[in-house]
Amino acid sequence: MYITTTIPYVNARPHLGFALELVQADVLARHHRRRGEPVRFQTGTDDNSLKNVLAAEAAGVPVRELVDRNAAAFEGLRGPLDLSFDSFIRTSTHPGHRAGVERIWRAVAHDLYPRHYEGLYCVGCEQFYTEGPCPEGHRQPLQTVSEENWFFRLSRYQDALSELIRGGRLKIEPVTRRNEVLAFVESGLADISVSRSAARARGWGIPVPGDPGQVVYVWWDALANYVTALEGDDYERWWVAERRKVHLMGKGVIRFHAVYWPAMLLSAGLPLPTQIFVHDYLTVAGQKISKSSGDAVDPVALVEAYGTDAVRWWLLREVPRVGDADFTAERLVARADEDLANGLGNLVNRVVTMVSRFLDGHVPAPGEDLADVSGTVSGTVSDTVHEALEGYDFRRAAAAVWRIVEEANRYVERTQPWRQDGTAREASLGTLVHACRALAVQLEPFLPTAAARVAAAVGGERLERAAPLYPRLVDAGRAGV
């Protein structure tokens, strides 16, 4: 399975919204790897955007410097967010990217033609609109652009795209997004501008092959990353031979991925992606994420304050498959304390303590009733998780894992090991240790760190008491902003 995230502009440091996409992609990657499927998880940054140039000018620093710094911040999310991406491409430094973009350009040459164009352009979106203001709410007013550009015959691909999507060869989730794309495609496609003057681009970007006065449209450039990141044999393996190629993205960029990109590939005679998953946006305390949101949306700051698991868990357990989700530190803390501290952490803690106190730490064999607790695990839970993830329902998948925690806690109350003796007690505690081990396994795609900590706490033949895995955040004075 080839999984990609979009590659964001690097005009600023990453915010929580992009962290959501990365974490979702990471869960898919880990889940499928665990099932033994070959996985390639790809992400990166779009360095060649004019927006980056403008941000650098505004900040009074060289473009190269700003781009390098911010790109590093994006790549640096790997540690804080426990990401497992296999490759990180930067469009301005990746060795094969430029050549790849040029190759695709030439392959599509039969569908390119020069045309004078005049329109309203939003630098924030890197896109033309028929009227202002730009729907994404970018501050800068739309600018009137009038110049000679290269155009791509998108109109030729209307029927092909329609069939592709209707036939399911290009699956778009959720359905409402699929319908949206179909409505757009079937309402008639106009050719699009795919280059701009090098002057307007401030000389930043990839020159059009054979026309140095023009720079390749940044979206064309960025979309190509999905294949240019795959060099040599990797291209054959992951773009040609792979049956499942999934693009994850936010709702603002569907058209590029579901229309322009497949059309480009069709024109170039290259294989297409197979699935597109569109997530909605995050708001913070009811407001759109913006610069003024500050630390409240800085994933690294959140991780420093609350921990990787708390941040990942909020993103996975609270964000619905469809619809925007509202983030507040209070919600993150409430969820972490309820699930991580009171649920998971407390369960492991009480089990380890009992084994330590009553059995001198020795792990007994599980009892006959193991199936009651961890049978739920291997069977129902793992099935539900898989089913939910096939539908990109991360929240449902995450919730399913918690059934093990709930079931194990009920089991403790039911058997009351502290009142049992001899073999009965050993059997109960054995069952509980095994349930915790099963929990660690199920947890791995969602919270790799938590999974490792649980596994360490209940692993081996002899358990030792230790400090609680997840102290309550509210007690630690981390009640929120």
Partner RNA sequence: GGGGCGGUAGCUCAGCCGGUCAGAGCAUCGGACUCAUAAUCCGUGGGUCGUGGGUUCAAGUCCCACCCGCCCUACCA
Handedness of CA 77, 204, 136, 43 (dihedral sign): negative
Tokens encoding 154: 């998108």
187 binds RNA (CB under 7 A): yes
54-62, 142-150, 370-378, 464-472 -> range binding RNA (CB under 7 A): 464-472
Nearer to RNA, 32 or 257 (CB): 257
By the rule CB under 7 A, 310 interacts with RNA: no
Among 143, 166, 294, 418, which residue sits at the site for RNA (rule: CB under 7 A)?
418
Strand pairing class (2-4; 40-45)? parallel
Beta strands in 105-236 (DSSP E): 112-122, 127-129, 143-152, 171-173, 192-193, 195-197, 207-208, 211-216
**Which residue in the set 349, 374, 415, 428 belongs to the binding site for RNA (CB under 7 A)?**
349
Which amino acid, residue 376?
T
Looking at the DSSP bridge assignments, the partners of residue 2 are 40, 245
Query: Site for RNA (CB under 7 A): how many residues?
Result: 46
Residue 431 beta carbon to RNA: minimum distance, rounded to whole angstroms: 14
Question: Which residue from 65, 353, 379, 456 is in contact with RNA, where contact means CB under 7 A?
Answer: 353
Smaller CB separation from RNA, 29 or 404:
404
| Longest distance between any two alpha carbons in the chain, whole Å | 87
Determine if 469 is a binding residue for RNA (CB under 7 A).
yes
Binding test (CB under 7 A) with RNA, winner from 116, 139, 243, 419: 419
Listed residue (86, 71, 112) closest to 32, CA to CA: 86
- Binding RNA (rule: CB under 7 A), the pick from 156, 237, 244, 350 is 350
Query: Which of 194, 224, 348, 401 is the binder for RNA (CB under 7 A)?
Result: 348
Q: What angle do CA 219, 221, 224 make, to 5 degrees?
A: 100
- Does position 64 bind RNA by CB under 7 A? no
**CA–CA gap between residue 207 and residue 222 (Å, rounded):** 14
Parallel/antiparallel/unpaired status of strands 87-90 and 40-45 = parallel
Q: Interface with RNA includes 342 (CB under 7 A)?
A: yes
CA gap 315, 209 in Å, rounded: 42
The H or E element spanning position 283 is strand 282-284
In whole angstroms, how close is the CB of 365 to RNA at the nearest point? 20
Q: Angle 226-397-229 (CA atoms, 0-180°, nearest 5)?
A: 10
174: cis peptide before it, omega within 30°?
yes
For RNA, which is the closer residue by CB, 215 or 333? 333
Q: Is 176 in the site for RNA (CB under 7 A)?
A: yes
Among 94, 425, 437, 472, binds RNA (CB under 7 A): 472
- Under rule CB under 7 A, which residues in 115-134 are in contact with RNA? 130-131
Sites for RNA among residues 320-339 (CB under 7 A): 320, 322-325, 334, 338
Place of tokens 């480009």: 264
Distance CA 328, CA 306 (A): 12
CB atoms closer than 10 angstroms to residue 410: 12
- Binding pattern to RNA, positions 196-235, x when CB under 7 A? ----------------------------------------
What is the C-alpha separation between 441 and 40, in angstroms, rounded? 21
Nearer to RNA (CB atom), residue 93 or residue 346: 346
421 touching RNA, by CB under 7 A: no
Among 50, 341, 433, 439, binds RNA (CB under 7 A): 341
Examine residue 423 and tell whether it contacts RNA (CB under 7 A).
Answer: no
Binds RNA (CB under 7 A): choice among 35, 115, 169, 357: 357
Helix, strand, or coil (residue 312): helix
- Please compute Rg for the chain using Cα positions: 25
Q: Tokens 């096939």 identify what position?
A: 390
Cβ at position 69, least distance to RNA in Å: 30
Cα angle value 251/257/261 (rounded, 5°): 165
Return the residue matching tokens 């936010």. Answer: 250
Q: How many CA atoms lie within 13 A of 408 on its CB side?
A: 29
Q: Is 290 in the site for RNA (CB under 7 A)?
A: no
Instruction: State both tokens at 23.
Output: 């974490």
Q: Point out which residues pair with 102 in neighbouring strands.
A: none
Q: Minimum distance between the CB of residue 100 and RNA, rounded to whole angstroms?
A: 28
- Using the rule CB under 7 A, is 289 a contact of RNA? no
Range in contact with RNA (rule: CB under 7 A) among 148-156, 209-217, 406-414, 439-447: 406-414
Q: Smallest distance, Å, CB 411 to RNA?
A: 9
Among positions 236-275, residues that touch RNA (CB under 7 A) are 251-252, 255
91 is a contact residue toward RNA (CB under 7 A)? no
Q: Which of 64, 166, 410, 462 binds RNA (CB under 7 A)?
A: 410
Shorter beta-carbon distance to RNA: residue 175 or 240: 175
Q: Which residues bind RNA (CB under 7 A)?
A: 130-131, 135, 176, 179-180, 183-184, 187, 251-252, 255, 318, 320, 322-325, 334, 338, 341-346, 348-350, 353-354, 357, 406, 409-410, 412-413, 416-419, 468-472
